[in-house]
Amino acid sequence: MENRMYEGCKSPRVSVIMPAYNVAQTIEQAIVSVQAQTVSDWELIVVDDGSADDTASIVVEIATQDPRIRLICQENGGVSAARNTGLAAARGEYISFLDGDDLWYAYAIERLLLRAEEKDADFVYGRTEERFPDGKTALVGPVSAVEGFVEDYLHGGTELRLTFHISAMLIRRTLIQEYELSFPFDVPNSEDTAFFLKLLSVTRSTAVTQILSTYIRRGGSATDEGLWRPSDWEWQAGIFDLVLPFVREHRPQAVEALLSSQAYRSYRFALSALRHGFVREADEYIARNYEVLVRFVRGKGKYRDRMKCCLLLKSPTVLRVFIAKL
């Protein structure tokens, strides 16, 4: 189901895609933060991903007063499916994303557009304030701007660190169309990482240093320390296999950085699994990814980490647990 009030209107400058699933408590605030933008030439595409609460009805009520807002309802398929639906429906020159429980600062679109025009950039990002359930905050994004392609985000010769959040960026839509970029929907997490690794293989990033968005971290995230799950974290290392063929084709000079980061994350996963008591899972993972871990030992990481990884590979289970805690 989709409202059609936008038909006949000219294409907007920016298409804002908002995936929404059971966010009746927060979606009005998220939409209001879009409506408050200092730039008014946008469309907001809300994709309700099979919500069981009043999310859709709240959007309908707001959209009746603002023809720039479109609602698409679909069966639940996950956040990747919702974002891909939004991408297919978008008409703007640029694409931005904002989840239904996050917020924008009023100048977000304006700052991103100004930077895109100044640098003739296809991809611009800014900083995000992250709020945790306990009230603590952290900043995501460039204190000093990190700009470039995939390989420019390799930290310390070992790990790719994408210094941005999906809620604070602007992407030229023709670039997405040209390379058929989309979010993988058959993965448990890190779907945005896969998207951005591909994006940074075909264009360089440009940054602004202002805080543009607020990301509300909810309890129950797969990355919460108290809810550590091997299946979720293993995939964060495995995501590189998904994007490697694309990177080899479009940015072969970034392949080494990608493989280095995969090896480092595999090592970190093995350590974390052992530290959290998932000993059997860690043993099985080390056996499956032996060659990847050997690559880390022979790579450019810190000597202490590489030696610890070497010991993990050569030691029996009882010693692996001890080594992981060193």
Q: Which two tokens stand for residue 55?
A: 């999310």
Q: Which of 80-84, 120-124, 143-147 has the lowest mean pLDDT?
A: 143-147
pLDDT of residue 312: 95
Mean pLDDT in residue range 203-226 = 75
pLDDT of residue 232: 64
CB-CB contact of 208 with 113 (8 Å):
no
Whether the per-residue pLDDT at 225 is higher than 80: the answer is no
pLDDT of residue 142: 59
Mean pLDDT in residue range 200-206 = 97
Q: Which of 66-70, 104-108, 165-169, 227-231 has the lowest mean pLDDT?
A: 227-231
CA 118 to chain centre: 25
pLDDT digits (tens, 9 = 90+) for 251-287: 999 999 999 999 998 999 999 899 989 999 999 999 9
Mean pLDDT in residue range 106-135 = 94
Whole-number Å distance between alpha carbons of 171 and 86: 14
Whether the per-residue pLDDT at 7 is higher than 60: the answer is no
pLDDT of residue 9: 60
pLDDT of residue 85: 98
Q: Which residues contact 122 (CB under 8 A, 6 or more apart)?
A: 116, 171, 172, 175, 203
CB-CB contact of 101 with 30 (8 Å):
yes
pLDDT of residue 228: 57
Q: Which of 124, 118, 96 is nearest to 203 (CA)?
A: 124
CB-CB contact of 246 with 180 (8 Å):
no
pLDDT of residue 219: 56
pTM for this model (two decimals): 0.90
305-311 contacts, C-beta under 8 A, 24 or more apart: 305/158, 305/264, 305/267, 308/271, 309/267, 309/270
CATH architecture of 14-216: Alpha-Beta Complex (3.90)
CB-CB contact of 107 with 127 (8 Å):
no
Whether the per-residue pLDDT at 74 is higher than 70: the answer is yes
Q: How high does pLDDT run on average in the chain?
A: 90
pLDDT digits (tens, 9 = 90+) for 300-316: 889 999 999 999 999 99
Read off the pLDDT band of 222 (50, 70, 90).
Answer: very low
pLDDT digits (tens, 9 = 90+) for 131-186: 888 888 888 765 667 899 999 988 877 888 888 899 999 999 999 999 999 999 87
SS (H, E, C) the chain: CECCCCCCCCCCCEEEEEEECCCCCCHHHHHHHHHCCCCCCEEEEEEEECCCCCHHHHHHHHHCCCCCEEEEEECCCCHHHHHHHHHHHCCCCEEEECCCCCEECCCHHHHHHHHHHHHCCCEEEEEEEEECCCCCEEEECCCCCCCCCHHHHEECCCEECCCCCCCCEEEEHHHHHHCCCCCCCCCCCCHHHHHHHHHHHHCCCEEEEEEEEEEECCCCCCCCHHHCCHHHHHHHHHHHHHHHHHHHHHCHHHHHHHHHHHHHHHHHHHHHHHHCCCHHHHHHHHHHCHHHHHHHHCCCCCHHHHHHHHHHHHCCHHHHHHHHCC
- Domain spans of the chain? 14-216, 226-324
